[in-house]
A and B are shown apart, each in its own frame.
Chain A
């Protein structure tokens, strides 16, 4: 019994999720007018940023692996 997803699969999942969250958070921003979606926009934006950062960390790991692998 092994977990079927690798590091890069998780990275892809994070990338897709981050894009969805970032776009949603930007569309719901009060700068573009009031929406009827009752959601905590501050928390949504923070979540989007955190997921984006997690994805960027996986990218950094990938770059580090390429550089450090002989």
Chain B
């Protein structure tokens, strides 16, 4: 209905503008010519700058939540208690894929690339028996692929500095996911501050200790972890996620894991 009314508006502008322009030529009227050109120009501009396809935020919340709930239910069923480790491409048989490794015990050692490559799931999830763990596609995998597509790059070819420079523009201007984005690095720690993201509602739920989302974080924090793992070439873990009182600002602490390191700090 709204699209139809917009179509009527710009069609009318173009038609009126064309008529005014033609009349101005017949009667040699400069005022009519100005009006005609103005209307014609705005009609063409409105046709070109059409409304993008938007969906309501409430829809996003209700469609994302159940999918994440299913993933977490599977993890809970498997009694996996460890934090999700976002694996870099060298741990996977398909370097374009994004996978997270969740050990069964809290204090577990990182798997070797050979172990995970053998178990690399062709589908959504794979179970590893020794050491007991799950290997699955994290909820932010597709969002991370969208980051790559929008930036027209592959995160394996870039470094942390590139992400620091380009992620703010990507998230604020290009994808309009957040109002502000900052990334700070200090040794093996990466702190990300996000202001007023579209995933605000999910961020709040993620922080609750018994939350069904606690293993991965929100889709946005998961996507950033995927991007970090691929660009640094090292496993990444989400250490902490904090949301401000009003729920607008989120601070996420990531840690780059060194090989042969235990997952629990």
Contacts and interface: CB of A to CB of B under 8 A. Distances in A.
Interface in A1-50: 1-5, 9-10, 13, 17, 21, 29-31, 33-34, 38-40, 42-44, 47
Q: Which bucket holds chain B's interface residue count?
A: 20 to 34
Given A2-B25, A2-B28, A3-B33, A47 B176 contact: no
B153 interface: no
B111 interface: no
A5 B45 contact: no
Nearest to B28: A4
Given A4-B29, A30-B173, A38 B34 contact: no
Contacts of A4: 24-25, 28-30, 32-33
A33 B172 CA distance: 10
Given A33-B179, A40-B51, A13 B173 contact: no
B205 to A, nearest CB: 22
Contacts, number: 59
B124 interface: no
Interface string B21-56: 000111011101110011001000100111110100
B50 A40 contact: yes
Contacts of A5: 30, 33-34, 37
B52 A39 contact: yes
A54 to B, nearest CB: 11
Interface in A40-66: 40, 42-44, 47
Contacts of B33: 3-5, 9
Nearest to B38: A13
A1 B24 CA distance: 9
Interface string B165-200: 000000011101001000000000000000010000
Nearest to B50: A40
A43 B33 CA distance: 27
Contacts of A33: 179
Contacts of B51: 38-40
Contacts of B179: 30, 33-34
Given A5-B30, A40-B51, A47-B48, A30 B41 contact: no
A10 to B, nearest CB: 8
A55 B26 CA distance: 27
A55 to B, nearest CB: 12
22 contacts: A1-B25, A3-B25, A3-B33, A4-B24, A4-B28, A4-B33, A5-B37, A9-B33, A9-B34, A13-B41, A17-B38, A17-B41, A29-B173, A30-B173, A34-B196, A38-B52, A39-B49, A40-B49, A40-B52, A43-B48, A44-B49, A47-B48
Given A5-B33, A38-B52, A39-B49, 16 more contacts: A1-B28, A3-B24, A4-B28, A5-B34, A13-B41, A17-B38, A21-B45, A30-B173, A30-B176, A34-B196, A38-B54, A39-B51, A40-B52, A42-B174, A44-B49, A47-B48
